[in-house]
Amino acid sequence: MSKIQIEICLEDVQSVINAEKGGADRVELCSDLFEGGLTPTLGTFLVAQQNSKIPMQVMIRPRGGDFCYSDIEFSVMLKDIDIFKSHGATGIVFGILKADGEIDMERSREVVERAKPLSITFHRAFDMTKDGSSSLEKLIELGIDRVLTSGLEPTVPEGVDMLSLLVEQAGNRIIVMPGCGLHERNFTKMHQKIGAKEYHLMLPEYQNSLMQHRSDDILMGGVLRQSEYLIAHTGLDRVKGVCKMV
């Protein structure tokens, strides 16, 4: 039996370094995880590349919100794929839907052709589709390597039954990678129920800001954001803990 692969979702260079030191197999590099992950800056990617050798899947998502994109937004996605591909990304992560909740096959096919031969992940836009089984078959038809999913539910623990069915349906045709709501306290139990080959986790630790002068009543991202004085990085020991379980 091949080793279970662990992918860590993160948004900064120190987190990439910590994920690699902790034993992760791969990272998904994003920006703005509060929005569910957007395209990172090229600078972040290049400095991470200079400081680590871990494979990096780069998020290609031009904005927060839904996954039904305008022509201009789609053009941005294609340009970002070109940029990160030319700078040595291991793979890309994307998801595009039509207004009716179906996978946008035409645009997705263009993304796949543009990104080849990079590894390609279809992200949790999959969880917003109308039917998981038929959507999985469409991704297989597209030749996508893996799908990140919580089983069409908010979290993996809630979608565990659907995830088990998707893993069985997929067989060796595509990798079903459970993600969202996984951590060191439930990982073993979830794996025993799902039996996937790869898992996607976000394992942050929070540090207090070094700022001495603080304006606590001002939030750069609005009232729904976390405090500017809590800084999140991937927790090295948390990654080690999960990787020891596999």
- Domain boundary assignment for the chain: 5-244
DSSP state of 97: B
Q: Is the pTM of this model over 0.95?
A: no
Q: Please report where in the chains the tokens 């992940």 appear, as a residue.
A: 121
Residues in the chain: 246
Least confident window among 35-49, 163-177, 211-225: 211-225
Instruction: Report the alpha-carbon distance of residue 25 to residue 142 in Å, rounded.
Output: 25
Amino acid letter, 220: M
| pLDDT tens-digit readout, 109-152 | 999 999 999 999 999 999 999 999 999 999 999 999 999 999 99
| pLDDT tens-digit readout, 146-180 | 999 999 999 999 999 999 999 999 999 999 999 99
User: Does residue 229 carry a pLDDT above 80?
Assistant: no
Whether the bond into 62 is cis, omega within 30 of 0 = no
| pLDDT tens-digit readout, 77-105 | 999 999 999 999 999 999 999 999 999 99
Residues whose CB falls within 8 Å of the CB of residue 25, separated by 6 or more in sequence, listed in order: 5, 6, 7, 54, 55
Is the CATH code 2.120.10.70 the one for domain 5-244? no
Burial class (CB in 10 A: 0-12, 13-18, 19+), 117: exposed
